[in-house]
Amino acid sequence: MSQLSQPQTLPLKPLHLPAEPVAWPLPWGYWLVICIILLSIILVVIYVVKTRQRQRAKAVALKMLKSNTETLTPSIANEILRQAVLSYYPRKEVAHLTGTSWWRFLDSQLTSPRFLPKEMAWQAALYTHTEVTEEDRRDLVADCAFWIHHALPPKKQYLNWKAAS
């Protein structure tokens, strides 16, 4: 009976615990998350740089128009506007435009016309020796600034402006 009351011990080896998990190397799921975050950061940086490059000509033209508003003539404002347009549109499509075709092009890029209704004032300001009134001068220069601010860079629906006119 003494043998029954005493439990028998099995000849077991001592327990060996596994090594504690380490932080390196990372599991593949973490690598995937890191790659997605890095890719997102790179894409955002590329987008910001391209947007700034695309807006540069617009910013320079607006700065030129606003820097000397008191002495700016409509012909100089029109020249600044033309240079800004040539920065965004194909030269062979817009460089040759003058007079009514130029005003029609400008109005085709806006939702409401601002240049064709004032064509006579523009013709007088650009091509005659008569002095333009101060109010007309400010209005014509403001139209150029408005166009640059609202029409540049060109929207996708306005890129093919010949089909619209």
pLDDT band for position 13 (50/70/90)?
A: confident
Is position 28 within any domain? Answer: no
Is position 44 within any domain? Answer: no
Domain that holds residue 165: 58-165
Is position 87 within any domain? Answer: yes
Is position 122 within any domain? Answer: yes
**What's the pLDDT tens digit per position in 97-133?**
988 899 999 998 888 889 989 888 888 888 877 778 8
How many domains does the structure of the chain reveal?
1
Q: How far apart are CA 84 and CA 153, in angstroms?
A: 9
**Token pair for 137:** 């001068």
Token pair 């062979």 in the structure block, residue = 92
Token pair 């400008």 in the structure block, residue = 106
The rounded percent of the chain whose pLDDT value lies above 70 is 92
Is position 108 within any domain? Answer: yes
Is position 31 within any domain? Answer: no
Out of 4-8, 87-91, 113-117, 157-161, which region has the weakest mean confidence (pLDDT)? Answer: 157-161
40 or 107, higher pLDDT: 40
Mean local confidence (pLDDT), 133-137: 86
Categorise residue 18: left if φ over 0, alpha if ψ from -120 to 50, beta otherwise: beta
Is position 138 within any domain? Answer: yes
Is position 82 within any domain? Answer: yes
CB 75 within 8 A of CB 136: no
